[in-house]
Amino acid sequence: MKNHKPTILRIAVPTPLRRSFDYLAPTGCDLTRLQPGMRVRIPFHNRQMVGILLEVCDQSEFAVHKLKQAVEIIDDYPVVSADVMQLCLWAAEYYHHPLGDVLETALPTLLRQGKPLALSQETYWTVTPEALALDFTSLNRSPRQQELLSWLIQHPEGVSKRQIKERDIPSTMMNTLCKKGWATKISKDDILIPSLEIPEPALTLNAAQQHAVTVINAAENFHVFLLDGVTGSGKTEVYLQAISAVLAKGKQVLVLVPEIGLTPQTLERFRKRFSVPVVALHSGLTDKERLNAFLNTQYDHAKIIIGTRSAIFSPFKNLGLIIVDEEHDLSFKQHDGFRYHARDLAIMRAQSNNISIVLGSATPSLETLCRTQQGRYQHLRLPERAGDANIPVFSVLDIRKQHLEEGISQSLLSAMKTHLDKGDQVMLFLNRRGFAPVFMCHSCGWMAKCQRCDSRLTYHSEPSRLHCHHCDSRRSIPKKCDACGENDLQIIGLGTERLEQALQKHFPNFSIARIDRDSTQRKGSMENLLEKIQSGEHQILIGTQMLAKGHHFPNVTLVGIIDTDGGFFSSDFRALERMGQLILQVAGRAGRVSKPGTVVLQTHHPDHPLLHQLLRESYHFFATTLLQERAQALLPPYAFLALFRAEAHDAEQAHQFLQHIKKITDTFAEKMSIWGPVAAPMAKRSGRYRMQLLFQADQRPLLQRYLKKLLPEIEKIPSKHQVRWSLDVDPLEMF
Ligand SMILES: [Zn+2]
Ligand SMILES: [Zn+2]
Ligand SMILES: [Zn+2]
């Protein structure tokens, strides 16, 4: 008799458990075709789930007769390619996150649900023979129709709903063309093919840009480049020319951008330059579009993939280059669940694919600068603004003892008037939305606070209400003080709404656009506002940090930073780095084309040495000083952190849980610094008390060894179900 060994499938399942699960192969399954990365439908507790096959083996740590049988193998080939699998395995281990959950992040929703691995049908519009025979001059009076038709002619395969949406073409216009018999709708597989549009030529490079392109294109193996260029220095043109060389070799390119950086203008610039299919991965895609983008990338139809954070998990067939634009941006770090950093994963992926990666920024993170100083990354600088753009002039405005009109000094007001009268635009930056941050009683000092959070409520005037910016709870404005019953209630401090109101009074003849999370909530409202700013319909722009990223306002010649000082007194050791980056990013929005920009900073600390280094010398002097301070204090990037967070309705439970974790480490032979447990900077949020425990090591491997030993022990803590806990490796925010 033959020795019969069972076939066991080791499967990653999206659960909070840090382990894999063993199943028996389904009856009748062709074992020879099984490959890691295929989806398997399995019974899990009382339902069916979709897991990912990790390996096929003949042994299990569980009794084989107790193993359940998998229901079916869903795929004919792996949905998770070997390359993405390797990235996910690394990430699960490094971030100590359950592998099943990591793999789920890598897949589009429809694939997670077990839907077939096939392109779905998509509606396309194509031109009719009638349109081809049309005399185009007869359309001279409807230039948009003319433009649309010639675009359709350049796309004989048809244009999809997605392409029409991305071009901002109203669907009514397509219907008009159909009614006239010039276009027709067809339904076909959503396969991307190159367009016939003639690509725009490359721009002429200055010496620094040329050097960067040459060096990047010459690299044949894994290489990390820091493309360090002031705003307006032409980083994008360097990306485009590096991409062009990679496309010429028949390879694909991944471009990671910050959440707010994926604007229609960015996309347009890539689409116009190359005739290859460009896929944009953003939150506006439907599940179907996302699956089609995934498959087009996997089939190597899509050549350029531009996306936010999670695009790092795209299934390339033939990846040749990765670009991370604005690498310092916080949105590359996922802030809940699987807390990965897309830039760091991108570097890992480039390394395992043995290709180059370009990190671009005008204000590189200290982590990246440090590695560049250590010689691990190659530093490419673009010191000058490209073309005819000017470097903005900074002016530090001492507002001590000055009379402020709703937070604005007279000097800033008169500077605004000068610029506005010349017909230029003015932009004011205030990183606080709402009308005012404080609502208090003048009789007894009571302040409106959130019931569920350890925070004050923000006063809003339109619509009028009190609002918590941490848990989103709202209440109507009380007529009398909650504490003493007097009606002596006051609104204190400045938010964007109040600034808008004050400026409207001061400059009645100018129109104001306010850009913050409240004014851009409705879909399309951001685009709408931006368009009106570009067309000059609004002359004054007020905004929070939403304004600081990605958008170019060529007619803005004056930028006012209303409250510069926020970063000086924060308890977060990264606050100064962020402040410097924010000031330069905001400043970079102005004076980009031929018109010189002035940046006025209102401060109570005009002599702060770091502010001087930043403005009078450079971001590099500023960053070098900060790096020296970090080195002395043994903080990142010279130390490595891991933060355990725990929250519970009872503060004591959260505290006990973290105390328990700390106690486990008493038995470890190696020692490292452990801080806490202490209350989080915001001690209560959404009704839960929050505590944290910080691990700090001067060597990354030591920290990793610690966490690896620790996590299986934490799983055994009986009280773990009473708290919500998480681990954040390389935390960027300490709340
Ligand atoms: Zn009171
Ligand atoms: Zn609010
Ligand atoms: Zn709240």
Q: What is the pLDDT of residues 416-472, one digit of tens each?
A: 999 999 999 999 999 899 999 999 999 999 999 999 999 999 999 988 999 999 999
Sequence-distant contacts of 533-538: CB under 8 A, at least 24 apart = 533/425, 536/425, 537/511, 538/425, 538/511, 538/512, 538/513
Tokens standing for residue 274: 């190359």
The reply to whether 207-382 and 393-436+493-629 are identical in fold is: yes
What confidence tens digit (pLDDT) does each residue in 602-636 have? 999 999 889 989 988 889 999 999 999 999 999 99
Separation of CA 596 and ligand 2 centre (Å)? 35
Q: Is 242 helix (H, G, I), strand (E, B) or coil?
A: helix
- DSSP one-letter string for 424-464: -EEEEE-S--SSBSEEEETTT--B-B-SSSSSBPEEEETTE
Separation of CA 51 and ligand 2 centre (Å)? 41
**Ligand sitting nearest the alpha carbon of 487:** 1
What does the H/E/C string look like for 293-334?
HHHHHHCCCCCEEEECHHHHHCCCCCEEEEEEECCCCHHHEC
Asked if residues 349 and 613 have their Cβ atoms less than 8 Å apart, the reply is no
Any idea what DSSP says for residue 231? T
Place of tokens 């073309």: 387
Any idea what DSSP says for residue 157? T
**Ligand sitting nearest the alpha carbon of 480:** 1
Separation of CA 477 and ligand 1 centre (Å)? 14
Separation of CA 450 and ligand 1 centre (Å)? 16
Q: Where are the domains of the chain?
A: 8-112, 121-189, 207-382, 393-436+493-629, 640-729
Separation of CA 449 and ligand 3 centre (Å)? 8
Q: Which residues pair with 725 in a beta bridge?
A: 646
**Ligand sitting nearest the alpha carbon of 495:** 2
Separation of CA 552 and ligand 1 centre (Å)? 46
pLDDT at 339 over 90: yes
Nearest to 339 by CA among 105, 20, 673, 81: 105
Q: What Å distances lie between residue 242 and 213, 227, 246, 310, 698, CA to CA?
A: 6, 12, 7, 23, 36
Separation of CA 575 and ligand 2 centre (Å)? 23
Separation of CA 463 and ligand 1 centre (Å)? 24
What confidence tens digit (pLDDT) does each residue in 552-606 have? 788 899 999 998 887 777 778 899 999 999 998 888 887 756 677 899 999 999 9
The CATH class of 393-436+493-629 is alpha beta
Separation of CA 728 and ligand 3 centre (Å)? 23
CATH numeric code, 640-729? 3.30.70.600
Asked if residues 308 and 255 have their Cβ atoms less than 8 Å apart, the reply is no
Place of tokens 């600034």: 499
The confidence band for 1, taking pLDDT boundaries of 50, 70 and 90, is very low
How much of the chain is in helix, strand and coil states, percent to nearest 5? 35, 25, 40
Separation of CA 733 and ligand 2 centre (Å)? 21
Place of tokens 């500077």: 415
Separation of CA 461 and ligand 1 centre (Å)? 21
Angle in degrees, 0-180, between the axes of helices 366-373 and 619-633, rounded to the nearest 10: 90
**Ligand sitting nearest the alpha carbon of 473:** 3
Separation of CA 29 and ligand 3 centre (Å)? 53
Separation of CA 452 and ligand 3 centre (Å)? 5
Q: How far apart are CA 669 and CA 665, in angstroms?
A: 9
The confidence band for 117, taking pLDDT boundaries of 50, 70 and 90, is confident
Q: How far apart are CA 577 and CA 591, in angstroms?
A: 24
Nearest to 126 by CA among 183, 201, 65, 82: 183
Q: What is the pTM of this model?
A: 0.90
Q: Is 350 helix (H, G, I), strand (E, B) or coil?
A: helix
Separation of CA 485 and ligand 1 centre (Å)? 6
Separation of CA 440 and ligand 1 centre (Å)? 8
**8-112: CATH architecture:** 3-Layer(aba) Sandwich (3.40)
Separation of CA 137 and ligand 1 centre (Å)? 74
pLDDT of residue 79: 95
Q: How far apart are CA 91 and CA 339, in angstroms?
A: 10
Q: Is 622 helix (H, G, I), strand (E, B) or coil?
A: helix
The confidence band for 5, taking pLDDT boundaries of 50, 70 and 90, is confident
Neighbours of 217 (CB within 10 A): 16
Fold of 207-382: Rossmann fold (3.40.50)
Q: How far apart are CA 59 and CA 64, in angstroms?
A: 8
